[in-house]
Amino acid sequence: MSEFKVRGAKVADEEAILALVKAEMQAHVELDERFRLRDDASSRYAVYIRDRMRDIDSSVFVAETDRIVGLAIGTIRKVDSFFKAQRYGYISDLMVERSVRRRGFGRALFDRAELWFRSLGIDVVRLHVAVKSDEARAFWKSIGASEFLLEAWIDLGPAPIAAGETPAAVAGVEAEPPRRSGFDYPDDVLTGPGGTR
């Protein structure tokens, strides 16, 4: 294996990171057309990566030889209070340039992210894996990942709405603005027995 290091990403790495990400995004589209990209995907990812670099609850790592060949992004996420695990680490991205895969870069990137998570008291890591990517699934299994949730996709197609109708009217519901609390409990759940809070 060639010499390489894993380090925290810098703003100066942005161009190299975006080139790596562009190739990975295209590979995902070829794998499954549901990953099709917006026209402005690259510029949006540039903003995303800058935001992650500035975010105190995120860390961005790169694997580097004579160039950047890998990327990992980890974020601390909070869980609703009724789950025992209150916080967990989330790997939003872990990618390695196709020409240098199976040389330890992916594992080294994960190890660095794991070290960062552990330093913050995190003992659970979660991530998403493309179902059609046997390579990615095998990689994460080798790391020790086990299946937890299944994310499903339902393509509803265009809505059958007549001119002048609203989606809410077609569904037979009145449109209400969302509640600010993030929870949509019936009033009796919020107030409790006897209408008291």
Contacting residues for 23 by C-beta, under 8 A, at least 6 apart? 97, 98
The length of the chain in residues reads 197
Enter the pTM of the model.
Answer: 0.78
Q: What does the pLDDT read at residue 165?
A: 78
Question: Beta 68-78 vs 58-64: how paired, if at all?
Answer: antiparallel
- List Cα–Cα distances, 100 to 63, 80, 86, 91, 182, in angstroms: 11, 39, 37, 21, 44
Q: What is the pLDDT of residue 170?
A: 67
Contact 23, 98 (CB under 8 A): yes
Q: Tell me how far apart the alpha carbons of residues 138 and 98 are, in angstroms, rounded to a whole number.
A: 15
CA torsion angle for 131, 132, 134, 139 (degrees, to 10)?
-40
**What is the tens place of the pLDDT at every residue in 60-103?**
999 999 999 999 999 999 987 787 778 999 999 999 999 999 99
CA distance 34 to 22: 16
CATH architecture for segment(s) 5-143: 3-Layer(aba) Sandwich (3.40)
